[in-house]
């Protein structure tokens, strides 16, 4: 039977690849790569370097395709959910074609996923959709990776959870609607608009990091009201210089 391996590759530091990931890379026949129009960017370069370093000496091939564009016009929650749903369906068409047309009956294909595949990444749900369509059978293996959340907290030397307390992982889009009920600790990802700058309470602390694990890593932490402007300025400058940014932060209240 065909095998698909979804390999978490860490969030920027090539040394945070696990031994299991290295083994999976070495036994892959076909690497599936989606071009997102950012081929010169650091994430695309890191993926390529990882494949070249660990694919091993047995024959392997690379199959590339253009990632379907997503409608990113601002809209309400329903139109956002609809746009994401349509984009996933088009990705499922593509993955189905990858598996049926590009992978031999007893071969292993791999998708390399930034960080950990369980966290804000669509690869697993798209593959689930391909399975539901029943057009092609495949075994699935998921190799966990070091997430940007783990990498961020490790660099700050702080824990994710406090004793007996919950933590919520959320997005900038959700934080824009207000601090969620019932939780004092939030990890915020995918925040293009620096939603933390709208929080004015003086009992909130932040541990922020951009490009964590890469040579360009920037880390700032402190009482939010005292460091928010500095983070916003450093972030804007870094984004303008590099043309892209990936940042994550932990907010802790009380
Ligand atoms: C689409 S999500 C993918 C998350 C990924 N699966 C993970 O486990 O980290 C992209 C978001 O991850 C975060 N991120 C990824 N890499 C990062 C890095 N090196 N430093 C800081 N944040 C990062 C940012 O919040 C970014 O907006």
Asked if 63 and 32 count as a contact pair (C-beta separation under 8 A), the reply is yes
User: Is the model more confident about 73 or about 103?
Assistant: 103
- The pTM assigned to this predicted structure is 0.93
Pairing of β 30-35 and β 61-66: parallel
Q: How far is the CA of 11 from the centre of ligand 1 (A)?
A: 6
Q: How far is the CA of 120 from the centre of ligand 1 (A)?
A: 8
Residues 97 and 101: their CA atoms lie apart, in Å, by 5
Q: Is 146 in the pocket of ligand 1 (CB under 6 A)?
A: no
| pLDDT, tens digit (0-9, with 9 covering 90-100), for 81-135 | 888 888 889 999 999 999 999 999 999 999 999 999 999 999 999 999 999 999 8
Residues 69 and 1: their CA atoms lie apart, in Å, by 31
Q: How far is the CA of 132 from the centre of ligand 1 (A)?
A: 28
Q: Is 210 in the pocket of ligand 1 (CB under 6 A)?
A: yes
3-state secondary structure at position 4: strand
| pLDDT, tens digit (0-9, with 9 covering 90-100), for 7-30 | 999 999 999 999 999 999 999 999
Asked if 42 and 79 count as a contact pair (C-beta separation under 8 A), the reply is no
Q: Is 212 in the pocket of ligand 1 (CB under 6 A)?
A: yes
Asked if 114 and 147 count as a contact pair (C-beta separation under 8 A), the reply is no
Of 180, 166, 176, 170, residue with least CA distance to 197: 176
């Amino acid at each position: 039977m065909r095998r698909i391996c979804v390999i978490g590759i860490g969030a920027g530091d090539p040394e945070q690849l696990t031994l299991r990931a290295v083994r999976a890379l070495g036994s892959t026949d076909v690497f599936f790569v989606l071009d997102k129009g950012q081929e010169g960017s650091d994430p695309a370069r890191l993926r390529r370097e990882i494949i070249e370093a660990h694919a091993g000496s047995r024959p392997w091939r690379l199959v590339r395709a253009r990632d379907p564009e997503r409608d990113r016009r601002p809209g309400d929650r329903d139109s956002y959910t609809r746009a994401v749903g349509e984009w996933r369906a088009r990705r499922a068409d593509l993955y189905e074609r990858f598996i049926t047309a590009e992978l031999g009956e007893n071969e292993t294909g791999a998708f390399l996923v930034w960080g950990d595949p369980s966290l804000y990444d669509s690869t697993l749900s798209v593959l689930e959709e391909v399975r539901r369509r029943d057009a092609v059978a495949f075994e699935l293996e998921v190799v966990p990776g070091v997430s940007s959340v783990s990498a961020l907290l490790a660099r700050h030397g702080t824990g994710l959870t406090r004793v007996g307390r919950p933590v919520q992982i959320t997005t900038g889009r959700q934080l824009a609607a207000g601090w969620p009920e019932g939780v004092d600790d939030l990890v915020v990802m995918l925040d293009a608009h620096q939603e933390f700058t709208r929080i004015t309470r003086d009992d909130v602390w932040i541990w922020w990091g951009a490009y964590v694990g890469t040579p360009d890593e920037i880390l700032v932490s402190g009482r939010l009201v005292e460091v928010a402007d500095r983070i916003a300025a450093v972030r804007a400058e870094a984004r303008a210089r590099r043309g892209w940014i990936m940042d994550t932060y932990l907010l802790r209240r009380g």
